[in-house]
Structure 1
Amino acid sequence: MFAKAFRVKSNTVVKGSDRRKLRADISAAFPSLSVDDLNELIPSKEELNIVKIYAHKGDAVTLYVLHKNPIFFHLEKQLFPTVYTLWRYPTMLPIFSTWPPVLQKLSGGADLMLPGVVVSSSGLPELDQGDCCAVTLVMNRAPVAVGTAAMSSTEMRKSGMKGKGVNVLHTYMDQLWAFGDKTHPPVLPITDCSTQVQGQMEGEECEGEKTRKEDVSGLAAVETSCQNLHELKLAESDVLNEEQSEDKGEDVCGEEDDSRSSQAQIDELLLQCFLHALKSKVKKSELPLLTSTFLRNHMISCCPTGKRLDIKKSSYKKLSKFLQVMQKDHNLVCIKELSKGVESIVDVDWKNPELCSFRIPEDCGPEKEAVEDSAVIEVPYQPPEITALYGVTARLEPLFLDSQKKKGTAMKACEVRNIITEYVKKNELVNEVNKNYVQINPTLCDCLLEKSEYHEVEMLKWDDLFSRTLLKMQVCHEVRFPGQRPVVKKGQMEPIELSVASRGSNKKVTVIKNLEAFGLDPAVVANTLQHQVQASCVLQDSPGAKNRVLVQIQGNQVQHVGKLLLDRYQIPRKYVQGLEKAPKPGKKK
């Protein structure tokens, strides 16, 4: 589950009442823990955080973090300990033992198969399907994986130890382990090392210093003595840093992914370009800065000669995930959605030690930056596609029940028209004498008529029926930016506002508001206008709108601003308000 990087949604401190509830939940789920153990795991005064994340497949998971280490995670209403917790309390879960090379497959996302289970002389642990359990390596009691039993222990014996044994959720060396301090498992020797491998001759025994070789699911023979356990760990780490397998329905096989070393290089390059851009490219006056603009105009130009910045080949896969890590783990920037679906950098910690200590590489020369910047400017801006929608209200919900449109569902006007037409025909409400009229039944009466019309209006024209329906619905709109998922918002699309204000000595200034809603970077627009009209241009915080920016340019420049928005950026005229304030021909600006 945590074989790939996850996305952090929130990180908050657990309150006192929640600590007590968590302590009670842990006590109920793991009764082997004593009161002292619970107090040590969930201390009353030390900082305990609750972190909500999304795994790479979209699963919502809640983590509980103590001393920067995840100690438990909540998934589908079930509580699981992490390997960090199990290393302190190795007996809190039923244990399955396996051979060291299997860890490589488990870390890559595979589940534990029964032929790979090493059965001790005491037999299998007694548990039911779905019970929480742990996986250890032979000759060490420190667990390396956590999961749930794929079948009960009785069914495992009946199957002849064939098939899947443990659905693995979390392993040593996965991304959840990397979220902590990345310590390695302690060596916890096993006093009774008598083992037997299911599928081989029963009754075989091993001694503490005896070397044993078994063919486990086609894996190569390995030594399992306590003396070479550290060497095995080093070997496993080397293997894990090479090509990993992605589990796609097969138990231990999958498609080969990019090597970890190559991915790590891309991650390092991404961080280098990010720090370089913050240190030498971004100015405080440019904030807030659209994240897409930051990547296109700043980070790409900081890429060293001969290298290519490809976020898709990094462990983050997306710019948004990378920036969230920079915000959460490095405290370098603050990212916010100034408008739904459009993220911006609203603040930078210029005094951050990591940023202050960063040195710009010598292979990032000014000539390369100029070439990159010129290529960036040529990227054309594409305006969003805006569609008017109508949402179903509580009053109109009975009218849309047949079409399974519940309250809050947003539709285009043509969809509403088709649904109303189908409703009228299905209920045979078309007037037989004059088919231009529709008979009003109780549902239409309650939904569309005013109280004063209940006893007066018996029929409505088709156009009147449609117009009344649309008027009673919630006005919405859909904004679709190129290459992004559409976003539905309530109300009408807020236009770009142009206004002319007077400053000291009766000087005029042109103020531009709400550029962010159309995906325009205020800093870029201000810079473009400043070069076009040769007038000073500044950015100011928008009053009453948090993290919104106004562009203010000297003089009445409405005509130039309108031309820029309508012609270059292709914003529809109906979404640009204040064009009539341009100076009249022949009059002084």
Structure 2
Amino acid sequence: MFTKAFRVKSNTVMKTSDRRKLKADVSAAFPSLTSDELTQLIPNKEVLNVVKIYAHKGESVALYVLQKNPLFFELEKQLYPTVYMLWRFPTVLPTFSTWPPVLDKMIGGADLMLPGVVVPSNGLPDLKQGDCCAVTVVNNRAPVAVGTAAVSSADMLSLGMKGKGVCVLHTYMDHLWAFGEKSNPPTIPESEQPVVYGEEYPPDEREEEEEEDGKQIVEQKQQQIKSDEDQTCSDVAKLSLAEQDEEEREKTNEEVEDNPDDQKSPQEDMDSLFLQCFLCALKSKVKKSELPLLTSTFLRNHMFSCCPSGKKLDIKKSSYKKLSKFLQVMQQQHSLVRVKELAKGVDSIVEVDWRNPELRSFCVPKETEVEAISLPSGGGETMYRAPEITILYSVSTRLEPLFQDANKRKGVVLQPAEVRSIVTDYVKMNDLVDENNKNYVSINPTLCDCLLEKAEYQDIVSFKWDDLFSRTLERMQQCYQIVFPGQKPVVKKGHIEPIDITVVSRGGNKKVTLIKNLEVYGLDPPAVATALQHKVQASSVLQPVPGSKNNVLVQIQGNQIQQVGRLLLDHYQIPRKYIQGLDKAAKGGKKK
């Protein structure tokens, strides 16, 4: 269920009443827990969060998180423990044991099959179909998977230990595990020697070898998941080491040619580049009306655009190492700006000394000056230009045979029109158009494996063209390309988060409007908050988004959905499909 990345809908701190209800639900679901153990799991004074997510197939799931680790997840009003909770209390659920190589298959999304179950001498646990259970590996009682019994224990034996045993919901190494601190299972030794049913995996003489193989597989999987996460979280493609070295050599050579008597180290070069882009951004990009300006927005939207072609700003290659330290130097030593923490963890530039001699004497490079003049402006301010967003699709492992003839391997990103063209060429090349009705396409073994579920193999023999295209797109990984003016295109996995507008009650009957995800579209939250203040004559504040380091949400008094919608649609030109919550605007009273 969590083999693919999920989407977080909300992350809130639990109220005291909700905490009591959760404790009662946990006690009812897991009666073996004592009152002391319940207090350890759901303490009264520590922060306990409820995180609502959408799994990759659309299921709505609630996670209960303590100290960054999810302890329980609730699916269809049924409460399940995570591996983090079971590592603390491994006897809460009845367990099935299996061999280490089977764990790799379960991590990949497979269920636990009965031929791979290792049965102890006292027999299988007494379970009914659908009962919650856990899975361990031999010689370690620490659970590595959670699921439900596919059939009852009696049926497992009557079937001769063949078929499906456990429908796996959550495993060690999946994305729910990665949502926590990513720790490894503790070692809890088995109390007795297991008895093997079937001959799919050898017994005692190969246990040590199997364990070693299992550890290697888990380590490989862990490295693979880590690399996938790093790739998912990376918004800007990085240069290779060779390109970086070559770029540094080119920069050094250029500087030596310009001034051969003054050779600088790469770190000093980056410090000079940062100062140059900083002064350039203040003089040619930032307007007084934009203040206060988030430091992250200032770097992304202003300093990056002032970087000369052929060079790249990288704070980690400078002596400052962090943007906050660089701005601190600009404030204390150069007296150029004043930086203030408007909200916890959210720094903004609140003041610029436009009369500073260093800033007044700085000459904007010609290429940057031309770019600044070419930007459309109105009323003395640089107009905001909405980014161009294109929905794309990535070739998945399952669909790779369908795209093989077009030389499109796994991970290749395509536009919907390209997908239609490739699928059409494949159908015509393999003569799959129905002779009696040209609107239908016959299903061959490749299309069957790529597009049909197992239950459909005998029922569906042909598709309409539209159904063929829609099924193909549904089974591809959705991506999106976002292009900000003056910046390189960035391709990101998953669905683009819409700007979320909600109205909540605070302090009794008072209502406030919350606006989130403005940064995704290059909007500066302080600037939006200031514009709304002038528009509706109401106070606004900035708050950090739970679970995010750089993003903030705008809070403004009253139900202001209509005014926010007009600002985003008319002034900033954000397409309506990327704004969520406009339908909840307050309706006007009836005319008399």
TM-score calculated relative to the size of structure 1:
0.46
Q: Which has the higher helix share?
A: 2
Q: Which has the larger radius of gyration?
A: 1
